A and B are shown apart, each in its own frame.
Chain A
């Protein structure tokens, strides 16, 4: 059991080390405000990564998330801005569309035994194109309700405050923890990722679980789109290019095995925060360019994959010897 928790502890250690180092190097970094902003600035990535964690736990992958986020923001912005819908109705429609899109992808993967990589690659192109079909340009959202939702924030004392997008992120995280660890659906996902054949032989509803997992990811992507409209106050069909890679990186850095079946949602939260801490530190520094973020993330990704290799090989060797 300890062995499974080890990657999580390592990730937490890396996060603390990074944060302490950045706090020592840059005055003003180690404050509650920066921590609160980590959640606000990375709400979109975080929400997408939560959905991605479920998919990867089930042994799959979802490349369509970034495009679905973009599509959602444009749908909401167009419905509210040009068709004068109430934002809540627009958000409801967007969430249903995102969930349905994910479910369809999962259905294709399950029904025709297609590689998840390819189906979601098609989904990525489709959603991106559809986003541009809905609206070619970035649209601002001007609505009393939206302005209120954007300005609403939870003061944490001092200058720190949690934005509405950050609250959405944290609420989804808690919900995700409950689903993953306390429900039958959550256990089924772990079983499916551990071994689809064994899960089927045990009588678990594999044919229903897999599409549902992709539906969860689609829902999370749509919700991330909502968070993005709250964060930027607009919908943009070009948003979120490459977001799927950042999300996968955050999940892997969080200690979830890419082969499925092993991992924790808490690790994903830590992975997202690591991503955010590096990004904030680069902004605080000002001299280093944003491409260092990519290099740092890639290096961490490699390090954690190597760690996983080491850990997963360990027990096998132990039982053989």
Chain B
């Protein structure tokens, strides 16, 4: 299953990539992330996501490609997944593309689960891109409307 979302940001590709290449910023973008711990291997992290009823554990290997404006990851444990952050130049700034490919072992039930799960993943990716855009454009986070009596 492939899920893709994109967003326009008012910053140069270099500025946008600088944000993405910071691992702490990258972790802060992801919704449902319960654990993000560096392992002994360089750029390898133990991750735990809240996915439906139970936490989803795994390990990912990050790779940075500054020339291509790309940050990718691939799972080394847990659910088979690949992800990509891609920064492209645009006339009025940059475009950040966020893609996730994932695969669940099994038959028809697994395809159905992928499809059901895709809706949540799609929503979480949208939130991550909005957070990234705010972070790059240095906008304050949206505040809740104060509760009136």
The answer to whether A and B belong to the same complex is no
Q: Tell me the B residues contacting A by CB distance below 8 Å.
A: none
Question: Interface of A with B (CB < 8 Å)?
Answer: none
